[in-house]
Structure 1
């Protein structure tokens, strides 16, 4: 199975809301949806301690680490070793998230090490200028997400989505663009994909839903529908 991320794609990032059996339950549903819609990619970001369990329990989703340091085997207590992340089963990684920001130097090191293993890099960018810089650095996916909108339920406006899409594609049309700020409903997913994003994702909109599994399903269905209608 290829580890490349196809579009449209959806990312479920449970952060630290879920772990263990509760996380496995949703990961398995995500895997069913990935098999139902083989034309798209579904990624689940997983706490380090659950990477192996989720990988072993699924077949089609891309298991994704929530962070990774640009270190090599040796010293580094409390750091996240790329070799260990890969060995555990992760094939993609989030970098520079607002909750785990990196300096440009450290980001470059982590991206370099990820490429050594063929781990797909999903790099977060707060502004259009930051998105351009990350595009030049060669990210596989850029998550364009104004920090102030994270977890608010308020999505990025149309102009921000369209401008960041255009700015990134102008530098490298092969970089995938993810827009996910404030996504909390299936309608948000539909709108974001219709506006031209390659993918989107959600955290609290799923984890705090009355039925997280139903919300995940509705969001992935909306993603596929919007992409087909976009043509």
Structure 2
């Protein structure tokens, strides 16, 4: 499958909540949903050690790494080699997450390396100004997520969502905008997409749900419902 990220898109990012068999169960469900809704993209972000297993068990999702370093094969003890995650099956990567921030120089190097490898970049921005800077750098997706809202269940206010969308698109209309701060319910997903985001995602809202599989399903269905109601063509 191609690693082109279509919109709308949904990112299931279990961070370190899930691994091994539990992660595979959710990844397989995401794969089923990606097959059911081929007009959207579903990305699953997995720990490095699970990339290969998730890739082998799925066909329709975009397997995504949590981070990578802009290094070449050789020295780099403890670093994440781009060639390694690509070989394992990752075709997209998160960069500059609040839990793994990068200096501007390191971010630029990682983005350059990802582009050379054919790995799509989802780059996190904490503010509108940071989002503008990352748009100039040429990210494939910009995740606009105020750090203070991560994991709180409180979403970004409507004006922030709309302003960041507009600021990024004014620089490069081809960059996809992801809004995911505080997403914890299917209703949050629906509202965020209706506001104009190209995609959204969730972590603890799914992993801590009574039924993570049902929550994942409900969120993807809410994504598709909102997008269709927007009447927007891909």
> Is TM > 0.5 for Structure 1 vs Structure 2?
yes
Shift of 1:28: 0.0
- State the partner residue of 1:136: 136
Partner of 1:162: 162
Instruction: Name the Cα RMSD after superposition.
Output: 0.3
Cα deviation for residue 116 of structure 1 reads 0.8
After TM superposition, the score normalised by the length of structure 2 is 0.98
Deviation per residue, 1:159-190 (Å, 9 max, x gap): 00000000000000000000000000000000
Pairing of 1:33-112 with structure 2 (within 5 A): 33-112=33-112
Q: Provide the rounded CA distance (Å) in 1 between the counterparts of 2:153 and 2:134.
A: 25
Deviation at 1:117, TM superposition (A): 1.1
- Structure 1 CA distance, aligned partners of 2:206 and 2:9? 16
Q: Separation in 1 of the partners of 2:151 and 2:2?
A: 32
SS in 2 for 1:156: coil
Partners of 1:49 and 1:230 lie apart in 2 by: 39
Structure 2 match to 1:211: 211
The CA deviation at 1:113 is 0.5
Deviation (angstroms), 1:120: 0.3
| 3-state SS, counterpart of residue 142 of structure 2 | strand
Equivalent-residue separation in structure 2 for 1:222 and 1:188 (angstroms): 9
Q: Counterpart of 1:94 in 2: which secondary structure?
A: strand
Distance 1:18 1:224 in 2: 25
What TM-score, normalized to structure 1? 1.00
Q: Which runs of 5+ in 1 are unaligned?
A: none
SS at the partner of 2:93? strand
Number of residue-to-residue matches in the alignment: 231
